Chain A
């Protein structure tokens, strides 16, 4: 059964019959699909998002939430690892069959669900077990129709997913790009029309891409991809990564300049909604940049990072609002005049550093899991302190502090009703944060953080005061979080203990992990992708429709990332080395970079020996 052709010795693809598929794998994936679809149906997403059209009139976001999965799993079931030197199995009809089978199996899950929902009443434990679900899943026809339809639809989608394998690599990429382009143009309708009013023509009056324009977008995206648009981008990136020295610096500078310019211009042309969104993204970006120092650079898993955000927010509020608690002595000023916010910010930073030291000192001597749990506790303790009656005279407990004035710089006022001003302020602070992160990462402190992350006891044996170094990370992180807190209170105008729930810590952490721990660009991408698209803990994102399912999607995304790309979207070089050491070493070995043999020659060794021992008189 050797597939190696005698003439070249190279393995070739083994062709197989259409039904020569791995049925166990299909059963497993199909079962998974069925469970996934039923789960999604029962979360209420299909019904809840049915009103939002993606493509007029036949595809709603609700329907999409069910139909994307058969397609994706139909593709993945045919995905086989190709091992070096082992003949790959030829792609062909069998992939389509496998995809269709998986899809049909998954569809069967939904079909059964339709029948069950129609005949039994389980609304009590399952809130979304409703007649609407039946209606939606049977396309307003009979239940029998729905039953058959789902097997057919899902099977067809699975087959389509499987068929991707048959396409040549480039075409496959183009198709995927085109599908994504259509979906993204449809989903980001409100954003796109907010930025460029003229784009309205793409969409139907009730929302959703029109059929014609969907086809146009599809074709255009496909053409762009086929003409090598994506490849050129990839080449540019590779070239940038390979570059070094002044050339690279110049490119980096160019990129930063272009990016900054875009950040200045975009808010000028967009509407309020987008500006608001960008301001929220900015605040979370600030937080994530700070946490990135703690988690990404120093490797301290801090689950209570929100504590510093809270300290920052409350300090600014106390210093600027006339409505702070009554117990403050009169020498604590109310800085609500022009420039007051800046002074408050300075005090806020000092307070955050102090908080970082106070919380950090007991926590930092712990390692690993213990440290994570304790920080989690401290995060809650700080919030409960602000909520408590004991400090109620200072922080008003659950009533919070209201009437926080906007940040008045005299010539420029940053207030919540003008999200663009907030965005600009946030961007200035983010630039400062990025600068700080970047400088510190490339200093001896940054190196020490790296060493601590790699092996704490060895780092200590090499003369690094690990307690100091880790505390420093904590303190810098706290200071950066306080930036966000200060902006947040000026923007929102009122803060409450519930503004600083543990959920905020989790969301920031997810941003850092998904974006790419230890990578500044990654963290920014993470903030934009998660808070911008899905929304923050309380802030709506671009996909406002998803806000109910936001946390569900966050969780799913986190799990998916951990399984498939633990280093994040834009990984830090070292981190990916750590996580993929085997592959990295294999690559390096293939490139001939791993040293195999020693070059020591007999003569060299003897010379060295004579050298070393000769000069000190020797011991023997």
Chain B
């Protein structure tokens, strides 16, 4: 059976630095894969390459059997891969609704003449884009809808910006979503909630998910499979339990078992 996303021998160098080296990776439809690794391991670079923002020096990326090498980021998105950014990059001065409407651009058909003559097709499509946008925002509860729809994204709290980033990625109607540290900066309660939402992204929306995350609780709770990167190379792959007891991984994480890290990251009241 062929994989949804298949990566072979992927390498990239930035002026002598091997940010990624001979990486092999695959995701099957309906999987949630966690990508972990110390800072600077090359995780974000890995995403940048899949989404077409960085061109690999060698190797191949195939999505649904077709190579993505040489495609522009918008073409990759068009094929069905959406992403979020580690350093939240919303369209800050556009409204929350506009943020999710604009990212449906590649799924819309109407051309300039539809807009000029305000045709029936145009009006229907606009209404549909709006409806979908609101539906997607509604997925995150009441926080991003109602009076918020017309507010600029810049007024949102940090956690809500992260949610809006995910909403924006969902709006491109992808098959595969790449989440870059979705819970970074959230408090434990928020990150637990979002962990749940990530599960629902698969079960309700049918997305396949690859997620970079430093929060081991989240990774453990939600991933079917975990890939560990270090210095641009795959250190280990497998279930969270296997990976977290792997000596090489523990070594990479400063000689501490992952379970300890997860425990240490958790606040006091939760451990009791």
Contacts and interface: CB of A to CB of B under 8 A. Distances in A.
Contacts of B156: 595
Interface stretch (A99-107, A530-538, A539-547, A580-588): A580-588
Interface residues of B, number: 68
Contacts of B223: 619
B105 to A, nearest CB: 5
B151 interface: yes
A463 B193 CA distance: 28
Given A451-B102, A458-B91, A593-B151, A610 B159 contact: no
Interface stretch (B3-11, B16-24, B194-202): B194-202
Interface in A438-486: 439-440, 442-445, 447-448, 450-451, 454-455, 457-466, 472, 476
B189 A602 contact: yes
A609 interface: yes
A613 B104 CA distance: 28
B224 interface: yes
A447 B101 CA distance: 8
B254 interface: no
A204 to B, nearest CB: 52
A455 B105 contact: no
A28 interface: no
A96 to B, nearest CB: 43
B46 interface: no
A444 B240 CA distance: 43
Given A458-B85, A458-B91, A616 B189 contact: no
A250 interface: no
Interface in A566-606: 574, 577-578, 581, 584-585, 588, 593-596, 598-602, 604-606
B94 A472 contact: no
B195 A609 contact: yes
A613 B73 CA distance: 31
A464 B89 CA distance: 15
Contact of A444 (B83, B108, B202, B203): B108
B118 interface: yes
Contact of B74 (A442, A463, A609, A615): A463
A599 B143 contact: yes
B132 interface: no
A444 B121 CA distance: 13
B203 to A, nearest CB: 4
B89 A458 contact: yes
Nearest to A601: B189
Contacts of A461: 51-53, 73-74, 77, 83
B interface, by DSSP: helix, strand, loop or mixed? Answer: helix
A454 B220 contact: no
Given A448-B105, A450-B91, A585-B155, A620 B221 contact: yes
Given A439-B116, A447-B105, A585-B155, A619 B224 contact: yes
Interface in B139-190: 141, 143, 151-152, 154-157, 159-160, 168, 172, 187, 189-190
Contact of A585 (B83, B154, B159): B154
Contacts of B125: 444
Contact of A462 (B92, B105, B151, B199): B105
Contacts of A347: none
A interface, by DSSP: helix, strand, loop or mixed? Answer: helix
Nearest to A442: B115
A362 interface: no
Contacts of B129: 444
Contacts of A439: 115-116, 118
Given A463-B106, A600-B193, A613 B221 contact: yes
B103 interface: yes
B227 interface: no
Interface in B72-110: 72-74, 77-78, 82-83, 85, 89, 91-94, 98, 101-108, 110
B196 A613 contact: yes
A597 to B, nearest CB: 8
Nearest to A614: B199
A84 interface: no
Contacts of B240: 619-620
A369 interface: no
A458 B116 CA distance: 27
B154 A584 contact: yes
A4 B31 CA distance: 64
A619 B93 contact: no
A433 B208 CA distance: 45
A595 B197 contact: no
Given A458-B91, A612-B195, A464 B189 contact: no
A447 B103 CA distance: 9
Given A444-B108, A464-B105, A466-B74, A451 B94 contact: yes
Nearest to A595: B157
B196 A440 contact: no
B136 interface: no
Q: Which 6 A-B pairs have the closest CB atoms?
A: A612-B199, A612-B196, A463-B106, A443-B115, A463-B77, A608-B196
9 contacts: A462-B172, A464-B105, A465-B74, A577-B152, A577-B154, A594-B155, A612-B199, A615-B203, A620-B221
Interface of A: 435-436, 439-440, 442-445, 447-448, 450-451, 454-455, 457-466, 472, 476, 574, 577-578, 581, 584-585, 588, 593-596, 598-602, 604-613, 615-616, 618-620
